[in-house]
A and B are shown apart, each in its own frame.
Chain A
Amino acid sequence: GQNIDQPTEMTATEGAIVQINCTYQTSGFNGLFWYQQHAGEAPTFLSYNVLDGLEEKGRFSSFLSRSKGYSYLLLKELQMKDSASYLCAPMDSNYQLIWGAGTKLIIKP
C-alpha cells in the first residue's frame, strides 16, 4: 500500500531551525512535494525533489533520499508566520500525489 509517515505536531522557537521528517512508501515514484498549509487555507507549494540531495530555496530547504524513502524539510530563521501544517506529498507512478495529514508546526516566541 501507499503510506506517508510524518510527526503529527512539532514545536520550535522563533529564530531557530526545525527539521520535519517524512518517510514514504509508494507504488513507483515521480518525485516528492512539500506544501505549506495555514489553518483554514489551501496548501501552497514549497518545493519539489526528484533526485537525491538537498534543494535550497531561501529559508527553506528540502532533502530527498529515494533509496531510503525519506525526505525532510528544513526551516531556518523561524518566523511566527511559519506556524502552519507542512505536507509531504510523494507522487506515485501514475503521477498522483499521495497526501498524509501533515505536520503541524507551532512557533513560540
Chain B
Amino acid sequence: GAVVSQHPSWVICKSGTSVKIECRSLDFQATTMFWYRQFPKQSLMLMATSNEGSKATYEQGVEKDKFLINHASLTLSTLTVTSAHPEDSSFYICSARDGDRGADNSPLHFGNGTRLTVT
C-alpha cells in the first residue's frame, strides 16, 4: 500500500528558531500533499494544501509567512515553522493521496507525524 514517510518524528527547539519537517511519498507520486496540525484531544486541522510546482493553498487563519511550504518534487513536501513560539507546539501530520490512482476520493495516507515542542 501507499506509504508516506515523515521526518523527524519529534523535535524540540528554542523559541525564535526555525524547524523543517519533511514529508515523502515512498512508493507513489503525490501532486498534492496536505499538512495538518492537531492539538491534544482535538480534531485534525487542515493548515494548507501543498501543490507540486506551485504555491501552497493556506486555510483561513494560517500564516503563510510563518508556515512555509515547499513542494519541489512529486515525492517531497516540506513544512518550515519559522520563528517558532511555544504556542506552535503541536502534532504536525502530513498526508497524501496516491496520485497514480488519480481519484479525488482515494483515501488519504498519513505520515507518522512530528511532535514539535518549542521551549
Contacts and interface: CB of A to CB of B under 8 A. Distances in A.
Interface in B82-119: 91, 93, 95, 104-105, 107-113, 115
**Residues of A contacting B: mostly:** loop
Q: Which of A33, A42, A87 has the most CB of B within 10 A?
A: A42
B92 to A, nearest CB: 10
B54 interface: no
A94 to B, nearest CB: 9
B99 to A, nearest CB: 14
Interface stretch (B13-21, B39-47, B61-69, B73-81): B39-47
Interface string B18-56: 000000000000000000000001111110000000000
B105 A30 contact: yes
A51 to B, nearest CB: 12
A31 B107 CA distance: 10
Given A99-B44, A101-B43, A42 B108 contact: no
A97 interface: yes
B43 A48 contact: no
Contact of A42 (B104, B107, B110): B110
Contact of A95 (B95, B104, B110): B104
A44 interface: yes
A56 to B, nearest CB: 17
Nearest to A97: B108
Interface of A: 30-31, 33, 40-45, 48, 50, 87, 91, 95-97, 99-102
